[in-house]
């Protein structure tokens, strides 16, 4: 994946799925964040795979402007009570899909132009496939209705999964 490809796709598409291998995940997430940092004023970063502190450290190392990102962390609260910070909402659990969706809606109201979801398929560890499919369809419909954009990361290893197939159908573009 290269940044130029993402830039080209987002000129004419609103919902993009980025399918990457597990080995690429860490590097590609930083590359994608660099693209978003460059092309958008406010980004909602929903993380199902890394806690807020880890993301902030990686962003600082990559020279990203943390202030442009609003984080929704679904992991930290599962192991500790996080300290309140102004640019992050901590969700109790990745299984609390209602709170995740409401938090994303709140981020959009606060001015986020794009929702970046890392890594969508991780939700299947915590939720039934049916619940995740309903959640994804509802969330993506809301993003479209609000006139926003979304970048959803999935793992190539999960391509045969019904959720991923559904995301592919709902997306404007899939980059593999």
pLDDT, one tens digit per residue, over 112-140 is 999 999 988 899 999 998 899 899 999 99
How many Cβ atoms are within 10 Å of 139's Cβ, its own excluded?
22
Q: What is the pLDDT of residue 1?
A: 56
pLDDT, one tens digit per residue, over 102-117 is 999 999 999 999 999 9
pLDDT, one tens digit per residue, over 75-94 is 999 999 999 999 999 999 99
Does domain 3-175 fall into CATH 3.40.50.300?
A: yes
**Domain boundaries of the chain, sorted by first residue:** 3-175
Q: What is the pLDDT of residue 3?
A: 67
């Amino acid at each position: 994946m290269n940044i130029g490809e993402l830039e080209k796709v987002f000129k004419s598409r609103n919902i993009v799925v980025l399918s990457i291998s597990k080995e690429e995940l860490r590097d590609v997430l930083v590359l994608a964040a660099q693209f978003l940092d460059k092309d958008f004023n406010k980004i909602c970063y929903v993380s199902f795979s890394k806690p807020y502190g880890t993301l902030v450290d990686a962003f600082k190392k990559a020279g990203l402007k943390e202030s442009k990102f609003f984080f929704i962390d679904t992991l930290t609260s599962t192991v500790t009570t996080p300290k309140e910070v102004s640019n992050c909402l901590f969700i109790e659990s990745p299984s609390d899909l209602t709170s995740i969706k409401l938090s994303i809606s709140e981020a959009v109201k606060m001015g986020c132009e794009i929702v970046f979801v890392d890594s969508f398929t991780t939700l299947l560890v915590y939720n039934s496939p049916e619940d995740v499919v309903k959640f994804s369809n509802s969330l993506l419909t809301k993003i479209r209705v609000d006139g926003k954009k979304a970048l959803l990361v999935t793992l190539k290893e999960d391509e045969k999964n019904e959720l991923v197939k559904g995301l592919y159908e709902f997306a404007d573009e899939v980059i593999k």
